[in-house]
Amino acid sequence: MKSQIKPICGNERVKLAQVVPLESPFSIFIFPTTFCNFKCNYCGHSLGHAKMRELYGFSPMTMEMPVYRKTIEQIAQFPDRLKMLSLTGHGEPLMNPRISDMVAYAKKSGVAERIEIISNGALLTKEKAIQLDEAGLDIIRISLQGLSSEKYEQVCSVRIDFEALVDTIRYFYENRKKCEIFVKIMDIALGDGEEQKFYDLFGDISDRMHVELCKPVYEGVNYENVTTDTDRYGNESKKRDVCPLCFYMLSVFPNGDVVPCDSIYKPVLLGNVSDATLLDMWKGETLRRFRIMHLKRKRYDNAKCSVCCAPDDVSHKEDVLDDDASGLLLKFDEGCRT
């Protein structure tokens, strides 16, 4: 088997408590679209647009190129390059017809060390794969929803040609110039004894692969029999009072709204790229006060943060700030009147 079994792309991390406050975010997520072609039964999209609007204040939309270009131009104003720009977020990025152009524009701008996409792969064609590779995509993470057409129909209410998907991934792997291919699957999308089949199918046509554990990400979705004592990578999970995401990342929704994490909940709106810059938002009072709220262990005072599992699910051990919160508060609390 050629592929490495590793949980994430790029897991060389610094200890966050030792480097914050950061002059520039480590990562920014730009959401090319928040529409999705799947309704996976563990995802908020399974609830339908009306219920998502009720629970999350979420209405799907697609980012237009002027908003995207403005966002990239604003990222270029940070003093440091991003470690990662992800063209991903609460939708299927390949549903945006300009996704290859988006990759190319970001690559030409030089704003990030690596550019990645997370996709379910169903809309990936051999032509699209080559376009993304030639545009300069560094990593594509393909999230599988089963190992058969029947399983896809069961998990995401869409029947795809699974053999064709495998063939496209193989073609991408064998013909790409640079782009790394990371294939992952949720444990709940595997049948009994299928984990080895997953490794056998993709072990020689991917660079990295992993089985992730399903966690209760979306309020209102039924997560019966889903355990919460580990994170999605299988590490022991301890309840965290301080969410580290807002200390090292930003996300930009399709309409230009900016939030301090990639949660669907929008726990605080920092502004919009049409009327403020990302640099000003990163250094601004709204984000500073939001961080102070977390450092004061008042995460659950925010209605959106209180139902979000991200601090316990996707935060790596190097990111944990709970033990350092008191000391960090002195760095962020100067002049605060809360």
Write out pLDDT tens, residues 29-79: 999 999 999 998 888 888 898 998 988 888 899 999 999 999 999 999 999
Q: What is the pLDDT of residues 247-279, one digit of tens each?
A: 999 999 999 999 999 988 899 999 999 999 999
Q: Is the dihedral of CA 180, 233, 251, 50 positive or negative?
A: positive
> Residue 320: which of 296, 295, 301, 283 has the closest Cα?
295
Q: What is the pLDDT of residues 126-146, one digit of tens each?
A: 999 999 999 999 999 999 999
Q: Over the chain, what is the mean pLDDT?
A: 91
DSSP annotation of 123: T
Question: Whole-prediction pTM value?
Answer: 0.93
Exposure string over 266-304, b if 16+ CB within 10 A, otherwise e: bbbebbebeebbbbebbeeeebbebbbbbbbeebeebeb
- Strand, helix or coil for residue 26: coil
- Strand, helix or coil for residue 82: strand
Q: Which residues contact 10 (CB under 8 A, 6 or more apart)?
A: 83, 84, 114, 139
Average pLDDT over residues 187-216: 91
Strand partners, 252: 30, 258
Average pLDDT over residues 309-313: 77
Q: In the numeric block, which tokens belong to residue 78?
A: 């940070």
d(CA 335, CA 255): 33
CB 231 within 8 A of CB 314: yes
Q: In the numeric block, which tokens belong to residue 17?
A: 């408590």
Question: 257-259 and 249-252: which strand pairing?
Answer: antiparallel
Q: What is the pLDDT of residues 219-245, one digit of tens each?
A: 888 877 776 676 777 667 678 899 999
What is the per-residue pLDDT for 11?
Answer: 56
Is the pLDDT score of 337 beyond 60?
no
DSSP annotation of 84: E
Strand 180-186's sheet: what is its strand order?
Answer: 4-5, 208-212, 180-186, 139-144, 115-119, 84-86, 27-30, 249-252, 257-259, 271-272
Q: What is the pLDDT of residues 83-116, one digit of tens each?
A: 999 999 899 999 999 999 999 999 999 999 999 9
> Residue 312: which of 229, 250, 248 has the closest Cα?
229
Alpha helices in the chain (DSSP H): 49-56, 65-75, 99-109, 126-135, 149-156, 162-175, 195-202, 278-282, 285-295, 303-306, 310-313, 325-332
Average pLDDT over residues 192-209: 94
